[in-house]
Structure 1
Amino acid sequence: MKVIKTLAGGLAGACVLTLTHETIRRFVPDAPRMDVLGMRAISKGMEKADVAPPSNDDKLHTWALVGDVISNSLYYSFTGTGKKAILRGAFLGVNAGLGAVYLPGPLGLGNAPSKRTPKTKAMTVGLYLLGGLTAGTVGCLWSNKK
């Protein structure tokens, strides 16, 4: 049962992160574009495997969002449950945000989507922190349930 609770917290954090990101990117010019990074990663991975990526950007965007939710759910599930889940969520969120700012360039995915301006960097870290805090809060609340 504990595994289900931690996965539920991870899923909550990933969904809040993705929904917030998708909303902000439509209204804020300096918003991070993690969806673009996801699309680039999928395309590059498929090309390396000698498979043609989807030519339709909408389909590729959907794949990127689904991949983000799945991978972030698993990552945020490490917040666990209990009194320190929120602290673990904050730690995981900040580290995911810093990774999202500083790793895409060396991975060949480009810097602009998450590192374009100081505001973009701050929003990137803030979004992942929000996801981690959400996962930790859900994990903490689940630990109080019998």
Structure 2
Amino acid sequence: MKFAINMLGGLAGALILNIIHESAKKLFKEAPEIDKVGQEAIKKTSRTVGITPPTGKKLYATTLLSDLASNTMYYSAIGKGDSQGLFWRGAGYGLTAGLGAIGLTKPLGLNDAPINKSMVSKILTVAWYTLGGIVAASAIKLLDMKNDHVVGRNN
């Protein structure tokens, strides 16, 4: 049951992160465009393993689903360990992911311009990944509390 709770919490954080990224890039030009980095990664990975990469809407959808899956798994790890440090762990995981997004893109051979185009873009990237981690931690906490109540613990 704990695995499912952690995965659902991770999904909550990943959904918030993707919704914010996708909404903000339509609203203002300074917004980071993490999907462009993801699309480049999908293309390079596909070619490396000898498959023709998707294009157009299929590439976009593949990128969003890949982001959602990888961020869900990453954020689900927040639920490991005791519940005392859950929110700090969520913030720490999110902060680490955001810093990784702005700092590791170029060393990984990807174009970092879509997320490092300005200081505002960098700050928003880190802030949004951190928010995703906090949302994941909050969801895990709520689901843990609900599970404890349903199975009769901590009444």
2:10: which partner in 1? 10
Cα distance 1:135–1:8, how it changes in 2: closer, same or farther (>3 A)? same
How many pairs align?
145
1:144 partner SS: helix
**Unaligned segments of structure 2, at least 5 residues:** 149-155
**Unaligned segments of structure 1, at least 5 residues:** none
User: TM-score w.r.t. structure 1 length?
Assistant: 0.95
Map Cα deviations across residues 37-83 of structure 1 (whole Å, 9 max, x no partner). 110000001111221112x3211010000000000000000110723
Contact 1:100 1:124 in 2 (8 A): yes
Contact 1:7 1:74 in 2 (8 A): yes
The CA distance in 1 between the partners of 2:125 and 2:56, in whole Å, is: 23
The CA distance in 1 between the partners of 2:48 and 2:104, in whole Å, is: 19
* Deviates further, 132-141 or 80-89: 80-89
1:105: which partner in 2? 106
**Residue 36 (structure 1) aligned with residue 39 (structure 2):** no
Segments ≥4 residues shifted beyond 6 Å: none
Map Cα deviations across residues 84-112 of structure 1 (whole Å, 9 max, x no partner). 22111100000000000011111111120
User: TM-score w.r.t. structure 2 length?
Assistant: 0.90
The CA distance in 1 between the partners of 2:32 and 2:100, in whole Å, is: 13
Contact 1:83 1:140 in 2 (8 A): no
Contact 2:37 2:112 in 1 (8 A): no
Identity of aligned residues (%): 39
Q: Which has the larger Rg? A: 2
2:96: which partner in 1? 95
Alignment of 1:1-146 (within 5 A): 1-54=1-54, 56-80=55-79, 82-145=83-146, 146=148
Question: Aligned-pair RMSD on alpha carbons?
Answer: 1.1
